[in-house]
Amino acid sequence: MTRTVIASILVSILLAMSAWIVVMNWLCAIQSNRNIRRGIERHHSMVPVVAQLLVSIAGLIEWLSGVMVPASIFWLIALIDLSLLGIVYLPIFFIRERLRLRMRPAASVQDSSE
C-alpha cells in the first residue's frame, strides 16, 4: 500500500471515531435530560475534548500526507460536539452564578431590616 492510501484510511477512521463520540455526547445529554424529567437521579456524562483531539490528529495526518479531505468535515465534527459547547459556556455560567450570589445577600440583608 502506498503512504497516501494508509493516510486516507487512518484519517477516515479518526474522523469516524470522532463523529461517533459526538453522537454519543448528544445521546448522553438527551438521556440525562430525560432522566431529570422522570425524576431519576442518574446522570450520563459526556466526554469533553476527545472528539476535537481526534479531529486535530486527523487534520495533522491529512496535512502531512497530502490527502485531500474537505476542511468543512473537520470543522463540522469539531464544532457540533455538545461537550465543547458546554466548555465554552462554563465561564459564562460561573460569572452568572457569581453575580447571582452577590445579589442574593444584598436582598436578604434588606429583608431582615424590615
E strand spans, the chain: none
Q: What single DSSP character describes residue 113? A: T
pLDDT band at 13 (very low <50, low <70, confident <90, very high): very high
Beta carbons of 75 and 19 less than 8 angstroms apart: no
Assigned C-alpha cell, 113: 431590616
In the predicted model, what is the mean pLDDT of the chain? 84
Question: According to the model, what pLDDT value does residue 113 have?
Answer: 52
Q: How far apart are CA 57 and CA 75, in angstroms?
A: 13
Q: Is the pLDDT of residue 110 over 60?
A: no
pLDDT digits (tens, 9 = 90+) for 43-95: 778 888 888 999 999 999 998 888 888 888 888 888 888 888 888 888 888 88
Beta carbons of 91 and 65 less than 8 angstroms apart: no
Domain parsing of the chain, residue ranges: 3-85
Q: How far apart are CA 97 and CA 103, in angstroms?
A: 10
Question: According to the model, what pLDDT value does residue 100 have?
Answer: 83
- Looking at per-residue pLDDT, the higher value among 78 and 106 belongs to 78
Share of the chain above pLDDT 90, in %: 25
**Mean of pLDDT values over 20-24:** 94
